[in-house]
Structure formats: C-alpha cells, structure tokens
Amino acid sequence: MKKLWGGRFTQTAEEWVEEFGASIPFDQELVEEDIKGSLAHVAMLGKCGILLEGDVQKIKQGLQLLEQKALNNELSFSVSEEDIHLNIEKMLIEEIGPVGGKLHTGRSRNDQVATDMHLYLQKNVNEIILLICEFQAALVTQAEHHIEAIIPGYTHLQRAQPISFAHHLMAYFWMLERDKTRYKESLKRINQSPLGAGALAGTTFPIDREYSASLLGFNSIYENSIDAVSDRDFIVEFLSNSSMLMMHLSRLCEEMILWSSQEFQFIEIDDRFATGSSIMPQKKNPDMAELIRGKTGRVYGNLFGLLTVLKGTPLAYNKDMQEDKEGMFDTVKTVIGSLQIFTGMIASMVINKNQMSAATKQDFSNATELADYLASKGLPFREAHEIVGKLVLTCIDREFYLLDLPFNEYKNACHLFEEDIFDYLDPYTAVNRRNSVGGTGFREVENAILQAKLRLEKK
C-alpha cells in the first residue's frame, strides 16, 4: 500500500517487516492526545496565516469527527500506516479529502510524538496525584481509629520498642507525601511543549509555538528544537518517581503480608483482597499485597529499560525511541491499579488490637524504658544500658520478661530503681511518654494526624 511518506521509495517493505516496525498496536493509546495536538497545531497555522481559514475549519471539523469516533471506539487502525500519527492523518484525508494533507505543514512526527507523550503524562500524572491523596486519606482514617493500638516496633525485624500502630501507618503517609511532591515537581517539565520543533531544526514557516503550547495547557516551550525532539527525560523521571512510589507500596505490602500471617495476626485483610488455595481449604492468601510487591519489579524494569534505550542514541530522534512507550503505558496502568487496589485494602483491613497488645507484653521491647529510667536519675546512659542488658539476660535464663522480675533483684542491680519502674515497663506508658516531636507518643501522633489532614485539604 502507498505510504504517506512513499515518494522516494521504489519498493515496499514486506508485511512482516512492516509489522515489526509498527507502533500502532500500542501507540493507539495516544489517539486522544494525537488529535488534541493536531487541533492545536492547525489552530496555530490558521492564526499565523499559514493556512487559509476555510482549510483550517475543514481540518478542524475532520479532526473533531475522528475525536468523536475515537471516543465511541469506532476507529480501526492499520499496521500499514505504522503509527498513530500516520493512521490519524490518513483517516483525516479519507474524511475531508486532500486538504487534510495540509495539517502536517510546519510539523514532523518527531515533535508530534513528543507532544503526545507530554500530553499523555500531563493527564495521567495528575490522576496519579489524586489517587495518592485518596490512598493517604485511607491511611489517615485507619490511623485515627488506632492511635492507642500498640504494636512492637521493629529494627532488623527484631522487636525494638513499643509504638502506636497509627504512628507506623503515618510513616507511609509521609513517604507518599514525598512521592506526591516529586510528581508535582515533575509536572513543570511535563508541561513543556516540543511542538513546532519540526523534525529537529525548527521550520521555515512563521509559526507561533507559544500559541499552540498555551492551547494545550503547557506552561512553557522547549528552548532548543533538537532537545525538544530528543528529550525523553520527562518519561525517565516519571518512571523513576513511579519506581520510588512502588517501592514504598511494596514495603507496606510486605508488612501487611507479615501482619496477616498466623505468626503475627495483627490484621485481617478483607476477603475481597485475598484468595483461597485450590488444595488447602484453610488458606487465605494476601494475593493483592503480594501482587503489588511483585509489580514493583516491572516498574523498575521499565525505568532501566528506557535508560538503556536512551544511553547510546545520538541526537536527535532515532527509531529506538519508539521503545519509550510500552513501558510508560504499563507503568501508568500498574501505578494507577496498585493505588486503587491498595486504597481499598487499607480502608477495609481489620485491626486486631488485642493480638497487637499481647505481642508487646511478650518481649523485651520495654528494655529501653529501664535504661532511660536510670539515665534520667543521673546514671550515665552507657552504664544504665549495661545494667539493663544484664537484667534482660537474667530474664532470658529464667524464661520470663522484665515485668516478671521481682523488685529486690532490680534493687540489687542498681540502687536507683524504685517501685515505680513497673509503671514505666508497661508498653502503654512507654508509648505515651514518647512525646518528642515526631515521636510515637499518643499526643504527638494525634498532632501528626491533624497536620496530615491539613496537608490533604490543601492538596
């Protein structure tokens, strides 16, 4: 079939070669963006007197018709037209006749595809930011209801100090807050227009790049035409921001998987986000949490894939860059899906407060309280640490915990101990007293939740 670019060719590629080179099987995802970009381009051509108003109107109407058909899923794309840009141009010419061929004046597929990608991320990054807010809101709601639920806090996955479960959840709130800031920050670079850069060198037509940029909701234009068509940093940045977000989600997945195990029993994941086993009738598997943890791998893969594609490409556009798309689409889908599932999973998880509190009574996570106790009475902390370490060893030998050790043994270990140590050893008291800024004390956690809510209101 005759190509839109077929003038200098005497032979056509065989079908399987054509198929290998085509991006239409996946870049049809950009249909809306491609038409939107063309509408802005043709409006600019009209405004600058490059095309006659009559032609502009015909092209506009043709594009709007295609836009409508795209919305109704009525467009059928063909591999022989290679990509979304040529498919749409061909359809336009079929709709309105040869005047449709004027649309590509002063433009190349190179600035066109870059424009489409910017528009695509503009839409989806804003969507992701909203979904992060919803996820954070679910975390805040759970936290608010469980300020006084106490769990052992861990370091090295060894019980360290008792903490408020709400405080633990809120740690994720702040990670996600940073992720959101990163995405927002990246919008500056996403909202930049490459349109009008042409193939790489600009154009002889008296175009107005600022005008088409403003029609597309971009805040600025690329300064350099070569950079405009070669740059994929904004996609790398998106993949990197998404990798960080997925890494955070994955860490929480891991915790939820642990917490819902028989060994912990801190939470119960709602049935809607779990599955059974085909052989073991008792099983309830935290599939969605595992899957999100797993999907983190493909997002990292997409980041490394694109960095590797780009590293050896000379300026300006190279066909290699067509490989930028699938990883980006896949990441958008993965991040959006993961956030939606996760929000539901957090909102519906049931907290087993009794089990949590029982866990804090069967460990030595209150040992720091004793050391702090002695230090607050003037003993150097290092010495206090040593004394308490020995007491822990005594308890381990006798197979009980610090609360079970008789008072006279405390007194023998150090004269500074008084009867009130048993209050200090209570995990509830231990948590309640940690009201340094950003700490797990109940008052501090309440305050942090308030701050978080204010942040969410501001968006």
Reported as type and span, the H/E element at residue 150 is: strand 150-155
For ligand ARG, the closer CB: 21 or 49: 21
Residue type, 264: F
Q: What size, in residues, is the chain?
A: 459
Structure tokens at 182: 């990163």
260 binds ligand ARG (CB under 6 A): no
Residue 118 binds ligand ARG (CB under 6 A): no
Return the residue of 77, 317, 342, 442 that touches ligand ARG, per CB under 6 A.
317
What are the CA-CA distances from residue 72 to residues 67, 68, 116, 285 (Å)? 9, 6, 20, 39
Which of 78, 261, 277, 376 is catalytic? The answer is: 277
The nearest distance, CB 23 to ligand ARG, in angstroms, is 4
Dihedral sign (CA 209, 235, 22, 226): positive
Q: Cβ 80 to ligand ARG, closest distance in Å?
A: 14
Taking a C-beta distance cutoff of 8 angstroms, is the pair 175, 110 a contact?
Answer: no
Query: Is 140 in contact with 173 (CB distance < 8 Å)?
Result: yes
Q: Counting contacts by CB under 6 A, is residue 228 touching ligand ARG?
A: no
- Distance between CA 134 and CA 180 in Å, rounded? 12
Residue identified by tokens 């963006």 is: 33
DSSP of 192-246? EE-TT-TTTT--SS---HHHHHHHTT-SEE-S-HHHHHH--HHHHHHHHHHHHHH
Number of H helices, E strands in the chain: 19, 6
Does residue 145 carry a catalytic annotation?
no
Q: Is 415 helix (H, G, I), strand (E, B) or coil?
A: coil
Q: In the complex, what is the shortest distance from the CB of residue 228 to ligand ARG, in angstroms, rounded to a whole number?
A: 13
| 110 contacts ligand ARG (rule: CB under 6 A) | yes
CB of 34 to ligand ARG, least distance (A): 10
- Compute CA distances 356 → 146, 268, 299, whole Å: 11, 12, 34
Which residues in the 120-149 window bind ligand ARG by CB under 6 A?
none
Neighbours of 48 (CB within 10 A): 15
- Reply yes or no on whether 357 is catalytic: no
Residue 230 or 360 with smaller CB distance to ligand ARG = 230
Tell whether residue 113 is a contact of ligand ARG (CB under 6 A): yes
Catalytic residue from among 76, 156, 415, 436: 156
Q: How far is the CB of 56 from ligand ARG (least distance, A)?
A: 24
Q: Interface residues for ligand ARG in 13-42 (CB under 6 A)?
A: 23, 27
Question: Which part of the chain contacts ligand ARG (CB under 6 A), choosing from 109-117, 247-255, 258-266, 348-356?
Answer: 109-117
Counting residues that bind ligand ARG (by CB under 6 A) gives: 10
Residue ranges in 45-104 that form contacts with ligand ARG under rule CB under 6 A: 83
Shortest distance in whole angstroms from residue 21 CB to ligand ARG = 9
Interacting stretch for ligand ARG, rule CB under 6 A, among 288-296, 315-323, 387-395, 443-451? 315-323
Q: Give the one residue of 245, 321, 345, 351 binding ligand ARG; rule: CB under 6 A.
A: 321
Binding test (CB under 6 A) with ligand ARG, winner from 36, 41, 102, 109: 109
Omega before 201 within 30 of 0, i.e. cis = no
Q: What's the min distance (Å) between Cβ of 29 and ligand ARG?
A: 11
DSSP state, residue 313: P
Catalytic residue positions? 156, 277
Binding site for ligand ARG (CB under 6 A): 23, 27, 83, 109-110, 113, 317, 319, 321-322
